[in-house]
Amino acid sequence: MLTISGRKTRCCDGLSRRGFLSIGGLTAGAFGAVTLADLMRAEAAAPEKKSDKAIINIFLGGGPPHQDMWEIKTEAPAEIRGEFAPIPTAVPGIQIGECFPKIASMMDRMAVIRSVVGCSGGHDAFQCFSGWNRSSLSSIGGRPSIGSVLSKVQGPTHPSVPSTVALAAKTSHTPWSEPGAPGFLGASHQAFRPNGGGMENLTLNGVTLERLNDREQLLTSLDGLKRNADATGMMDGMDAFSQAAFGVLTSSKLADALDVTKESEEVRARYGDGKPYKYQYDGAPTCNDHLLLARRLVEAGVRSVTLSFGRWDSHGANFDLVRDHGGKLDQAVSALVQDLDERGMLDDVTVLVWGEFGRTPRINKNAGRDHWPQVSCCLLAGGGMKTGQAIGSTNRLGERAVERPVDMQEIVGTAYYNLGLDPMTTTIMDPTGRPQYLVDRREPIKELV
């Protein structure tokens, strides 16, 4: 790993340009340690393709209440209906919850699925980032996430830009900040984490970002680093990929993408910062500028960006939480879609906004809603999809899908389709030598493609 000190410019809690440049080593959990050089070796082995399609996967950790967001149950009794009223949208006949006026005003550029089924009930991002139950193929490493599949099959768009990046900072309930697992593809296809941990390997003392263009100073510092490292044998066998990893860490292309101060004040104000952070507890903050970072990353060539927005596990004070989180999500998502559209990127970037399951129809004694895997919801935009529609519905009480149930795998399969990978035919080889389809439910959602 390489650590380079620099002037700190925070984008959100725990993430700064300096923080990004500190990280050259990635933590691979059960797979052991993997470095950025390892990641680049793996990506170099993948066939490079020129597709500029990308995905921004926004995980609403904890389980968002479907009946308080995209399908207000006006005909249900008060103990189920809750406090929110429906509001009209830019698409005649489609109404959504009152906490989302900005999204409502641009519903023609979005689509909502009100009948998501197939939730495993796990309190984590695994299924939203992969389409699979965590137990699937667990004996050989588990299923890979969308970003890891793109890393394997399509490879990087640019030598200095990782294929997949995870923005979520670590949460106390760690599954809510999962980056998207590489599964059986191995740790070298995991997401690059700009705010990952680890500071102990290689350090270029005294070299600031402002001095990186001073080649003489850089070479002097590298020589000192090598002399110090040679005593331990750390630099023995350093290859081209290790050198390329240093290039990634100091590349203006990726570092600039992570520096939101390069955006105009108008654009940054449009997204907002999501503060003050409320109802966070053991989950993620409402970090609006992560959505701006996601746009900057896909613009720089990253194929997949994952992030975790808020903590939606509303066992109590559900309506106060939705007012807070919903208003911030409304601002950030509408700004992202508008931004992508204005830059001519919307058809090439698929945006998913969803959580691991829904919430109970009946409001509990603490004015909250509990876990409800029976049905959930998803907001989508971009990707060349046929937007301006609401797909599916639940029954009068919001208990189950009664019209057009849509499995979580169908949503992930549609994302793969948008990204240029045909889920009907594309396979990846597992460690046993068997080809594995990307999802079991392989037909994209016909209403959207």
List pLDDT tens digits, range 76-101.
999 999 999 999 999 999 999 999 99
Query: Percentage of the chain with pLDDT > 90?
Result: 71
Contact by Cβ (8 Å): 355, 78 = no
Q: What confidence tier does 52 reach under pLDDT thresholds 50, 70, 90?
A: confident
What is the end-to-end Cα distance of the chain in Å, rounded?
A: 43
Q: Output Rg (C-alpha) for the chain, integer angstroms.
A: 22
How does DSSP assign 254-306, residue by residue?
HHHHT-GGGS-HHHHHHH---PSP-S-TTS----THHHHHHHHHHHHT-SEEE
Q: Give burial (CB, 10 Å; 0-12/13-18/19+) of 327.
A: middle
**E strands within 33-150?**
33-35, 54-59, 86-88, 95-97, 110-117
Q: What is the mean pLDDT of residues 116-139?
A: 97
Rounded Cα distance between 218 and 220, Å, is 5
pTM (two decimals): 0.85
Q: The tokens of 337 are what?
A: 């879609």
Average model confidence (pLDDT) across the chain? 85
Q: Determine the average pLDDT of the residues in 284-292.
A: 97
Structure tokens at 163: 């294929």
pLDDT tens string 295-337: 999 999 999 999 999 999 999 999 999 999 999 999 999 999 9
Look-up of token digits 């008060």 = 78
Structure tokens belonging to residue 419: 């990204």
Q: How confident is the model at residue 17 (pLDDT cuts 50, 70, 90)?
A: very low
Q: What is the mean pLDDT of residues 181-188?
A: 95
User: In this prediction, what percent of the chain has a pLDDT beyond 70?
Assistant: 76
- Going by C-alpha positions, the residue among 45, 29, 3, 32 that lies closest to residue 241 is 45
What pLDDT is attached to residue 35?
60
* Domain residue spans of the chain: 53-195+268-437
For 53-195+268-437, CATH number out of 3.40.50.920, 3.40.720.10, 3.40.30.10, 3.40.50.300 equals 3.40.720.10
Q: Give burial (CB, 10 Å; 0-12/13-18/19+) of 359.
A: buried
Instruction: Tell me the pLDDT tens digit for each residue of 196-214.
Output: 543 233 334 444 444 444 5
Q: Provide the pLDDT for residue 194.
A: 84
